Structures are given as C-alpha cells and as structure tokens.
Amino acid sequence: MSASPESPDSPASPGLSIAKALVQARASGVARLDAQLLLAHLLQRNRAWLLAHDDAVLTPPQAVAWTALLARRAAGEPLAYLVGECEFRGLALKVSPAVLVPRPETELLVEWALERLPSAPAATVIDLGTGSGAVALAVKNAAPGAKVTATDASPTALAVAQANAERHALALTLSQGDWWSAVPGQRYGLALSNPPYIAAGDPHLAALVHEPATALTPGGDGLDALRRLIDGAPAHLQPGAWLLLEHGHDQHEAVQALLTACGFGQAETRRDLAGLARCTGAPWPGA
C-alpha cells in the first residue's frame, strides 16, 4: 500500500494504469466517484492527484488489491467499510463492520439536539447505542461545554467510538450496556438515540447485509428498541429534559403515542431533507 504507482515511463510493461483501473471499475458497475475514492485510498493519494496522473501504473500488488476492492464494492459492501472511514457533520470518523455507517439523515438528530441542549453550563447529554460515536461526537464538537455520555451494548462498537473520540480529542464518557441499563441511577439533561428500527422481514434489510443486524433491526415490528428507550427514560431524565429519537419513515405516530402514554409532554416530529418523518421527541415534564 505504501508503494507509489510506478512512473509510466519506467520498464515497459503494459501494467494497469489509473485510467484503465477506472475503466475496469465502470465495467464492474462501480460508480465513478466510489472508484476514485477507493483508488485514492489504495494509493494513499487524493483525488486531484489521480486526475492529474491517469497514466501512472499500479504496482502488481496494488493491481491485485484493486481487483479485490472492486469486487467487494460491486457486491454491495459500503464504501465506508472499504476505506475504513466516513464523514459525519464535518468529522472524519473511523468505521468498521462492527458499527452502522453513519447516515446523512442522522445529522437531523444532531441539529435538533443542539437546539434542545440545556443552556446550563456542563449540560449532560446521553447518546444511547452510539455505534461509531457519530451523534455523541458531533454534539460534543458543536457544544464543547456539554458533558456527553455514549453507550453501546457492543464492546467492539465502543472501541470504535473511543478511537474516534481520541482522533478528534473530544471527551466522551463511554458506558457499555443495553440501552438505559448502561447508566444505572444517572439522569441527563438531554437524551438521544438512533436505535435499530427496521422491522423484521423489511425488504430494505436485504441491501444492508454488510452492516451489523443488531444496529439495524430489533426484530418484530421494529419498535422494540424505541419502546425500551421511551419506557426507561423517565428514570433517567432531569425535569424538562428532551428525549429525541430517530425512527423509520412510518413510525412517527407510534413513537408519539408511546411518548404520550409514558407521560411525556407534547411530542414533535421533524422531517429529513427527503421529506420523511425521521425524528420524534418530547420533553419530560417538570422544568
């Protein structure tokens, strides 16, 4: 990986040039931008360099690695796993198959969280089921004064979140456990989660086989994790604290009803850029 592509005018071997590698990608059905990003990752160069050097030739090991990367991308493996990182709200985050690839629509959860962050100094925030740490780190990055806790049932996921926190020098308190059981006896000024919410058997899951199933679906009707987050919230929220939840496009009415049944104040739903009902939240009474 560290070797640079050979200069095109060094020993006369036909070799695989960058231009040919990109043609090969097109033939494999890999989108041009994905192919450029994969190749840039493989050669440890940026895209501008690739564009300026399309006659540079890959070394034989690079050519072998390229064929393998193309096959994996063509088989639907997320680009983020192949290059080992992805961007979320301006933060380059390490990702591995132990965590969901952060989705752009989840930035909505972060935007809303920043609006509902208590103004008190050292406001406490919890992100339940943090995965890569994306939501928790985006909040901490935008609100450095907040004390942010991030939980996950998976120790492997927490290790990824920890690595991301260190990479950006953002302090998180990490706690392992299933939803609220990770933080016994603790109360927060704001609680957030992007839990698994896809229903068992949803055709959508077939396209997501490379990501951890536990991060995508709780099974059943898809509402189990949301129910547990809502039912456990009263024991963990300070008066006036908001609980903000990402959910599926057809789950906002169910989530609103669960919040109301649990004693929360007036629930609100926000739509993502695609116009889909994406997040629902409500305040715990008493402020």
To ligand GLN, the closest distance from the beta carbon of 204 in angstroms equals 6
Q: Which two tokens stand for residue 265?
A: 């104040």
First to last CA, the chain: 56
3 CB-side CA count, 13 A: 12
User: Judged by CB, which is closer to ligand GLN: 18, or 160?
Assistant: 160
Residues with Cβ < 8 Å from 73, sequence gap 6 or more? 28, 30, 34, 35, 38, 79, 82
In the complex, the residues that contact ligand GLN under the rule CB under 6 A are 103, 194-198, 204, 208, 216
Distance (Å, whole) CA 167 – CA 265 = 38
To ligand GLN, the closest distance from the beta carbon of 95 in angstroms equals 14
Distance (Å, whole) CA 66 – CA 68 = 5
User: Judged by CB, which is closer to ligand GLN: 212, or 234?
Assistant: 212
User: Judged by CB, which is closer to ligand GLN: 151, or 194?
Assistant: 194
User: Judged by CB, which is closer to ligand GLN: 196, or 232?
Assistant: 196
Residue 270 host element (H or E): strand 268-271
To ligand GLN, the closest distance from the beta carbon of 102 in angstroms equals 10
To ligand GLN, the closest distance from the beta carbon of 28 in angstroms equals 23
User: Judged by CB, which is closer to ligand GLN: 16, or 244?
Assistant: 244
To ligand GLN, the closest distance from the beta carbon of 164 in angstroms equals 18
Buried b (16+ CB within 10 A) or exposed e, 180-211: bebbeeebbbbbbbbbbbbbeeeeeeeebeeb
3-state secondary structure (DSSP) of residue 259: helix
Q: Which two tokens stand for residue 122?
A: 């050292």
User: Judged by CB, which is closer to ligand GLN: 98, or 208?
Assistant: 208
To ligand GLN, the closest distance from the beta carbon of 112 in angstroms equals 16
